[in-house]
Structure 1
Amino acid sequence: MKNPIAPGSQAEQVGRLLLAGALVLFLPLIPFGAYLLYPFVILTTWFHEMAHGLAAMLVGWDFQRLVILPDGSGFAESFTPIEAGRLKRAVVAAAGPLGPTVVGSLLILASGRRRSWRPALYALAGALIVSTFIWVRSPVGVIVLPLVALILVGIARSDRPNLERFTLQFLGILAALSMLRDWNYLFTESAVIGGRRVLSDTGAIEAALVLPHWVWAGLITLLSALAIGASLKHALKEDGSTARL
């Protein structure tokens, strides 16, 4: 007879991560599943566009607004000086596709340490509310992002540690796998967003740093895979050393 999986064990952690991944991949395929996932698709767009905006601020530009469209696409507008250097342009462009990976990695890491679960949920909820107030300028964003924030606060206050951890795992995997949803965008030179044809993120990097957009897309994909893999490995190691629930 096989031994049951112990609560809080590494095997249980792996099972939860696999369940989170299955939900992300297959929920859109079941009736009404896409509607259930929709607020979190909007969340991954927020990860992407906020990364553009914060990177713009980091290089000294003026981050003006963030727009999320009903189809889940979006854009971040920043005032870009005419004399802006090529490297700065490339950094701001690369931040978008790397943003969900960075956030996903941090959420997965947080899921491996019990004392991080509730603070991570509160921090993400707070960031959603603050950014909505300051930068978000579209009905979808103004409605959905605070709703997601309220859900996260409710989970953090539910006094259900397993739910808190699974939420972090689910959101981390969702952010990590959002690159699959944006795969065509990542490997294309331009795209139509909001009715306008614009350079894709990798197309903008190509324009700034010469090498073809697919080279940058491949490099971003590799960096993302390494970051997510490292975060999963570390989270599983941390989880195996924490106290049982």
Structure 2
Amino acid sequence: MPESKSRWSKKTQFWLFLLAAIIVHQIPFVSIPFKWLESFFHEISHGLAALITGGKIVSIQLFPNGAGLCTTRGGFGFLISFMGYAGASIWGAIIFSIASVNKRLALIFSSAIIILLITCMLFWVRDLLTAVIVVVLLALLILPYKFKKLHYLQPLLQLTGMMVLLNSLYSPLHLFDGRAIGDGAALANMTFIPEIIWVALWMAIAVFAIFLLSKKSR
């Protein structure tokens, strides 16, 4: 009986967090930090793909509207371009999954994200605006540590993971701006596969990640 109750609780929590993420996404000022965080994971995914394939990160920029830019040198161009949107979906799913296990793992992973942001600040941030955005993200991640026994850390990290995943579902649609620039255009030029196919694939990855999380919650 306790096991059945626990499973029902996890299933209910999943749908509540998804609903909360959809609602928060519609609130202009409240949703901004989450868009910045999704942009950070998008850009750092480009950078990590460059590092893994023998390239290097030159700089990472984040903008107030939720856009970003990771400048890299060397590495496997196809994987670097592909991993931005795909990586953000993966990050979101991993954050939600790990935070859902228990408070201790949520604490460890939250600390790892803080270290990643600090590393980014020290090595790859070259402009004041990006530095301010990163500091805001650090403050938001550190804030739950101020509460007694970290009661709010786990649910806030779960909501953060779901928000990153949801933003990674919506953000590829911004590529349809008529300017033919960005990751989709870069992949279209490399492969001769239309940009719309890449956008559909990135959105499908996000939907599949949400599906896997819902299945795991059952």
Bigger radius of gyration: 1
Other structure's SS at 2:152 match: helix
Deviation at 1:217, TM superposition (A): 2.3
Shifted more, 39-48 versus 154-163: the winner is: 154-163
The within-5 A match list for 1:48-197 is 48-80=42-74, 88-114=76-102, 115-156=104-145, 158-160=147-149, 162-186=151-175, 188=176, 191=179
Alignment partner of 1:202 is 2:184: yes
Aligned residue type for 1:224: A
Structure 2 residues without counterparts, runs of 5 or longer: none
Deviation at 1:50, TM superposition (A): 0.9
User: Which residue pairs with 2:197 in the alignment?
Assistant: 215
Q: 8 Å contact 2:17–2:159 — kept in the other structure? A: yes
Aligned residue type for 1:49: E
Q: 8 Å contact 1:68–1:138 — kept in the other structure? A: no
Deviation at 1:156, TM superposition (A): 4.0
Aligned residue type for 1:137: R
RMSD: 2.5
| TM-score for both structures, normalised by structure 1 | 0.76
Deviation at 1:223, TM superposition (A): 2.7
Structure 1 residues without counterparts, runs of 5 or longer: 1-5, 192-197, 238-245
Alignment partner of 1:38 is 2:20: no
Deviations along 1:26-49, one digit per CA (max 9) or x if unpaired, are 2354xxx42222222111110111
Deviations along 1:81-107, one digit per CA (max 9) or x if unpaired, are xxx7xxx22111001011211111111
User: Which residue pairs with 2:10 in the alignment?
Assistant: 13
Shifted more, 11-20 versus 161-170: the winner is: 11-20
What is the number of residues matched between the two proteins?
A: 214
38 and 219 in structure 1: CA distance in 2 versus 1, 3 angstrom threshold: closer
| TM-score for both structures, normalised by structure 2 | 0.85
More helix by share: 2
Tell me the distance in 1 between the aligned counterparts of 2:82 and 2:118.
25
Deviation at 1:200, TM superposition (A): 2.1
Shifted more, 13-22 versus 198-207: the winner is: 13-22
Other structure's SS at 1:119 match: helix
Q: 8 Å contact 1:67–1:76 — kept in the other structure? A: yes
Deviation at 1:157, TM superposition (A): 5.5
Deviation at 1:65, TM superposition (A): 0.4
Aligned residue type for 1:57: L
Q: 8 Å contact 1:45–1:73 — kept in the other structure? A: yes
Deviation at 1:68, TM superposition (A): 1.0
Deviation at 1:199, TM superposition (A): 2.2
214 and 176 in structure 1: CA distance in 2 versus 1, 3 angstrom threshold: same
184 and 101 in structure 1: CA distance in 2 versus 1, 3 angstrom threshold: same
Deviation at 1:123, TM superposition (A): 0.9
User: Which residue pairs with 1:240 in the alignment?
Assistant: none
